[in-house]
Structures are given as structure tokens and as C-alpha cells.
Chains A and B, each alone.
Chain A
Amino acid sequence: MARITLDGIAHAYGRPKTEQDYALKKLDHVWEQGMAYALLGPSGCGKTTLLNIISGLVTPSEGRLLFDERDVTRLPTEQRNIAQVFQFPVIYDTMTVAENLAFPLRNRRVPQPQIDARVAEIAAMLDLTSDLNRRARNLTADAKQKISLGRGLVRSDVSAVLFDEPLTVIDPALKWELRSKLKAVHRALDLLMIYVTHDQIEALTFADRVVVMNDGRAVQIGSPADLFERPEHTFVGYFIGSPGMNFLPAAIEGTTALVDGHRIPLGAAYPTLPGGKIQLGIRPDFALLRRGGGGVPVQVRRIDDLGRRRLAHVTLGSCPLIATVPPDMTLDGSEAAVDLSPAHLHVYVDDHRVEGLAP
């Protein structure tokens, strides 16, 4: 049980010459006790490196790592009191399921009655009770991963439990079940959990706080709602949401944006903007298609029916845009308009969001 502080942590494999050589760029962050975090980003963005730095499998090339007030930067994994579950299940297959679960405790010389109690508790949480006495071999991938998860959760005194894409090898149907189980375990055990994934649904459903990473950098740290409604970086806009956010090159004049000659009212005033590439961002969910008569005129190119909702691919002037088609709306011809909700329009300068002033 602890709070984990990253104090200017950075890491490069080999000897870095430029900033590009860092697998993980300088990062300051505090992971609070009892919270569930997700590290979300595409493959190769440095999520696993960050996780391995926290668990001690990798020693960072720069910065300090604190568990509460204790500096553990150079401490080996064994002395850090941390649990980690890996992408591919690791099973000690000469042992029974119960012995597997007890292994981390036994190695730390926990008294046997305590081990038994804890193993029983964790097995019950993960539905492993009926398998406890069988050998841990020839099990299905999800049963194996449940054992790995169990071994991660079995120590009650850990500073944090780290998950490195633990559900990758699991069937989609079981993924839901295991994820909600993990969520329940998190509530029951009150542990700091950090969950690495490239799957946004997984991240957004599991975590209280999501750290979005790209190219070795933490681009935004926030609640799922923050990431959805106020992406601080165009990457977060693209990466979160399906489809991602629309970005339109624009010019800003106070409370209006100009996109290809069309005037779009904004929800805030932007009196002075720093120089750079200016883009207007809006999620498809907040851009509603209408037949015309108000809104910004667009050309409809195609409509995708996703069953649950319909998405229109349109062009605003010469810029492509994806908008939501309201239920029951029918369309004739390709002329239409979109309503862009001013409260959900964001202005980005060089990919970073600029906070407007209340109008």
C-alpha cells in the first residue's frame, strides 16, 4: 500500500544521443494509493517500459522512483514489494493451482495458515476454487491467465499490482468477464493498480485515471470523461473514440472559427493565440447532420450504418468530417448541413489544446 512517485523518470535503451532515442521521455507523475490507472497507447509507445521501471525489471536511465518517501530507483524487483502480471501467462506447471497461487507468499516466508486463507480468498474471487488441487498444466489460456492474475493479487501488502496487457490472449467473450472481475477485485482489495493496454475500451472501463501515451511521452492523464470531452492533444482525440475526433484546419477570430470560408461559432473566446498550426477539433458525436436551414453547409459523401448509430462522411468546404446522423433522419441528395455543438469545439495550436476564455 503506497503512493508511487515518478520524479523525472526517463529511459533509453543504449546510449541516447537525441531526445528521439528515449523509449520513455521525461515524466513526472504521482500514482495514488487505491486508484486504478490505465496506461493506454499504441504498440511501442513506452507503456511496458514504464511498467517495468516501476516493477524494477528495468532501471531507468534518469530520474527517481519513490514508493511513499522511499527511493527505490536502484532496488531490485525482489525488494520492491510489487506484483506484476504479464501478457502471456506464466505458470509453474509442476505445481498445483493452489501451490502456484501460494508461491509468492511461500517465497516470502508467510506463515502457512495465512497462506491458506489468502489463497482460498483469491481463488474464490477468480472462480478457481474447484481447480485448486489440480496440476497447473494443460489448462486453457484463460485459466492459466487467471492463475497468473491470482499470483499477482495474492500478496495483500504489495505497493501496487501492475498488469501488462493481461487479457491479450483471452477470448473476447471471457475478456469482459475477467475485466469486470478485476474491477471487482480492485474495489475489494483497495490496491493501486496500473493496467497497460492498447485497447481503449479496456482502459476506459477499467481505470479511474487513464494515462495516454504516444512516442514515449504521456500526452494526457485524466479520467475517461476528460479524455473524451477535452482531449488535451490531437493524438488523444484521434486515439480515443471510434471513430476519432475530427480536426479541421481553421483560422480563429475571437469567438468564431473560419474553416474554408465558413464561419463556425465557438463556445469560448480566443483573443490571442500563439503562432502555429491551428486546428478546430470536434468529436463525431457532437457534430449532428441536419437537412439544412441553419448549421454549416456540407456535402454528404457516404453514410455508414453501424447498426447502433449512423455516421456520415461529409466534406465541409474541402475538409473531410465525420458527423452523426440523428435517428429517423432521411436524406435526399448530397446537400446537408451540420450542427457543431459550440461547447464541444476545441481549438488546437500545434496539436495542443488551447483553453478559451468565457465569452
Chain B
Amino acid sequence: MNDKPIYQRAWFFVLPVLVFVLFSSLIPMMTVVNYSVQDSMGQNNFFWNGAGWFQGLFDPTTDIGGRFAGALVRNLFFSLVVLLIEIPLGIAVALCIPRHGWQVGAVLVAIALPMLIPWNVVGTIWQIFARQDIGLLGAALNGLGIPYNDTQDPLSAWSTIVVMDVWHWTSMVALLCYAGLKAIPDAFYQAARIDGARRWAIFAKIEFPKLRKVLVIAVLLRFMESFMIYTEPMVVTGGGPGEATSFLSLDLVKIALGQVDLGNAAAMSLVYNLITLTLCWIFFTFTTHADQKGDA
């Protein structure tokens, strides 16, 4: 039946990849797992701690549990706010980008610019921009009599980081949506004109349904990135004032590298990783499933 030659030596070709994955992912990952179930008194002496680190992490009454819960809530809230602003805004921007002519290139380049700036540079730009003494934004707001101080006032710090993220990443949503809109054949718009559809009906009945697949990707990407956000708040607020903007990643780095609390940090990073994976999986299956249900 099956006359395919069996040639086991071909496995050797896979070896380089296996070695690469081993060194880049598996061994570091297992080290983290190792740290998460052991405790160390230094001098590289480890002893077994079982689920101890995890128990502390999930118990909000402990110091580490409280920090973790707070950071997680802040992080989820941040992702939610960012998605609620960036997705509708991105769609709106995409609808306004011209579809033909020389303006297309100019507009697309201008829109893509924020995405080309490295994270820490974005952070630095906004850190200076927000300063009350020499920053255009901070000085102008205070000059107008609006109390604004991103190093003292949690609301100011939060809005700075949210606006910064919107500035940095709405372009990506807009470009994805623009690509989705461009893929709609002209005949749909012509038919809509013949059918006498108003602008809102064209959006609701033609454009939005055709954008759904692109939007799933946009939401996924934006969720993951906002959930992992590190560099920009690190540079702008350093997690403050107080704990106001210390997100999971900021806290994790503080625990691991600041306090060299390896057990807690390992447990936290594993849980953090699992949360990201689970949320993405739930979101993805939910949206694709909803799509199939619509087909029936």
C-alpha cells in the first residue's frame, strides 16, 4: 500500500532546529519552572518548595499576592481601555484614508511613522512631552489651568500612558482596517449606491462585516501587546506614582531583577504567560466560533 521509502537518517536534518529551540526556549523555560518550585539561600543551594510560591501568589492577603492581583487588575483595565479607544478610532481613521491617487502613499507613510519609533524612544518622547517645566503637553495643560502632573497624580499618569499607547498603535489598527476596506470590490459600493444605502448603512451592512476577520487580528495583536506593555511606562512613569501604573511586566522585572526574588518571579512569570495564552485562546475560539455560527 504505502511504498514511501522510510529513511530514518533524515531526522538529522531536523537536529539543528531542535538544538536551537532547546537553547532558545526549552532550557530557559525549564529553568523558570525549576525556580518556581524551589527556594534558594544563595550559593546555588536549592531546596524543594513545592507549590509554595504559587500559593502565595494566588493569596491576595500576602504581600506578593496583593501586588500580583493589583498589577493584574491594572493590566486588564489598561488593555480594555486601550482596545476601546484604538479599535473604533482605527476604523474611523481607515475610513478617512483616501483610496486612490497620490495622497494614499503620503497618508499611509504619515500614519505608519509612530510605529517605526522604538519603544524606549516613544517613552522618552512622552516623558519629556509630559514634563511640567519644559514639556509642551505638561506646560501647556498647566498653563491652561488644568492640573496635570504625571509624576504625582495617578490620573495624569494613567492618561499619559493611555494617550501614548493610542498615539503609538492606533496606526496599526488603521492600516489593518484599511487593507480590509481596500479588499472590498467596487461593485459593493456601486450596488449600495443603486440600492440607495446611506453612509451608515454602507458601513454597517458592507464595510463592518467585511472587516470582522481583520478586526479579530487587530484586537488580538493589540491585546497581547498592551497586556505585555513594559518599556513605555517604565520610561515615562517607572510604574508610579506609587503603584498606580506598575503593570505585571514592570512588577515582574522589579521582583526578579530588583529584589532577586527568583521563586516569586518565576511563579509569577509562568502564571502571567498562562493568562496571556488562555485569554488569546478564549478570544480566538470565541470569535471564530461566532463566525461559524453565523454561517449556519
B187 at the interface (CB under 8 A from A): yes
Do A137 and B201 touch across chains, with their CB atoms under 8 A apart? no
Within 8 A of B (CB), among A64-93: 76-78, 82-84, 86-88, 90, 92-93
At the interface, yes or no: B3 with Cβ under 8 Å from chain A? no
The smallest beta-carbon distance between A23 and chain B, in angstroms, is 17
Give the contact stretch, choosing among A8-16, A103-111, A313-321, A322-330: A103-111
Does residue A151 face the partner (Cβ distance < 8 Å to B)?
yes
Assuming the contacts A92-B205, A92-B206, A137-B294, asked whether A108 and B190 have C-beta atoms less than 8 A apart, the reply is: no
Is A90 touching B188 in the complex (CB atoms < 8 A)? yes
A125 interface hit (Cβ, 8 Å): no
B295 CB–A CB distance under 8 Å: yes
Contact A151 B294 (CB under 8 A): no
Cβ contact of A78, chosen from B196, B209, B294, cutoff 8 A: B196
Contact A55 B194 (CB under 8 A): yes
B294→A104 contact, CB < 8 A: no
Knowing A93-B209, A137-B294, the reply to whether A88 touches B195 (Cβ < 8 A) is no
Distance A145 CA – B206 CA, assembled complex (angstroms): 17
Instruction: Given A78-B196, A82-B194, A84-B190, answer yes or no on A107-B201 (Cβ-Cβ < 8 Å).
Output: yes
* A57 interfacial by beta-carbon distance below 8 Å: yes
**For the complex, what is the distance from the CA of A2 to the CA of B26, rounded to whole Å?**
76
B205 CB to nearest A CB, Å: 5
A88 touching B194, Cβ below 8 Å: no
Known: A77-B194, A135-B294. A94 touches B205 (CB 8 A): yes
Q: Check if B193 sits within 8 Å of A88, measured CB to CB.
A: no
* A228–B205 CA distance with the chains assembled, in angstroms: 46
- The answer to whether A86 and B193 touch across the interface, beta carbons within 8 angstroms, is no
Q: Is the CB of A107 within 8 A of B196?
A: yes
B258 at the interface (CB under 8 A from A): no
Residues of A within 8 A of B195 (CB): 103-104, 107, 151
Residues of chain B lying within 8 A (CB to CB) of residue A84 = 190-191, 194
Asked if A269 lies at the interface with its beta carbon under 8 angstroms from chain B, I say: no
Count of chain B residues with a beta carbon within 8 Å of a chain A beta carbon: 18
Closest B-chain residue to A81, C-beta based?
B196
Is there an interface contact between A94 and B209, defined as CB atoms closer than 8 Å? yes
B197 contacts the other chain (CB 8 A):
yes
Q: Are A90 and B197 in contact (CB under 8 A)?
A: no
> Bound state CA distance, A21 and B38, in angstroms?
82
User: In the complex, what residues of A have CB within 8 A of residue B206's CB?
Assistant: 92
Output the nearest chain A residue to B204 by Cβ-Cβ distance.
A94
A138 CB–B CB distance under 8 Å: yes
How would residues 190 to 219 of chain B score, 1 for a CB under 8 Å from any chain A CB and 0 otherwise?
A: 110111111001000110010000000000
Interface membership of chain A positions 121-157, coded 1 if the CB is closer than 8 angstroms to chain B and 0 otherwise: 0000000000000010110000000001001100000
CA distance A135 to B292 in the complex (A): 12
Q: Cβ of A86 and Cβ of B187 under 8 Å apart?
A: yes
B193 touches A57 (CB 8 A): yes
- Alpha-carbon separation in the docked complex, A278 to B51 (Å): 102
Contact status B295-A137, CB under 8 Å: yes
Indicate whether B145 reaches chain A with its CB closer than 8 angstroms: no
Contact flags B225-255 to A (C-beta < 8 A → 1, else 0)? 0000000000000000000000000000000
Q: Which one of B185, B188, B197, B294 contacts A103 once the chains associate, using CB atoms below 8 Å?
A: B197
Cβ A107 vs Cβ B197 within 8 A: yes
> Are the CB atoms of A86 and B190 closer together than 8 Å?
yes
Instruction: Assess whether A288 is interfacial by the CB under 8 Å rule.
Output: no
Residues of B within 8 A of A88 (CB): 185, 187
Q: Closest 9 CB pairs between A and B?
A: A90-B191, A107-B196, A104-B195, A77-B193, A86-B187, A94-B209, A92-B205, A84-B194, A78-B196
A residues bordering B, Cβ < 8 Å?
Answer: 55-57, 76-78, 82-84, 86-88, 90, 92-95, 103-104, 107-108, 135, 137-138, 148, 151-152
- 16 additional contacts (CB under 8 A) given A86-B187, A137-B294: A76-B193, A77-B190, A77-B193, A77-B194, A78-B196, A88-B187, A103-B195, A103-B205, A104-B194, A107-B196, A107-B198, A107-B201, A135-B294, A135-B295, A137-B295, A152-B194
- 17 A-B contact pairs sorted by A residue (CB < 8 Å): A55-B194, A56-B193, A57-B193, A84-B190, A84-B194, A87-B187, A88-B185, A94-B209, A94-B294, A103-B195, A107-B196, A108-B196, A135-B294, A135-B296, A137-B295, A148-B191, A151-B191
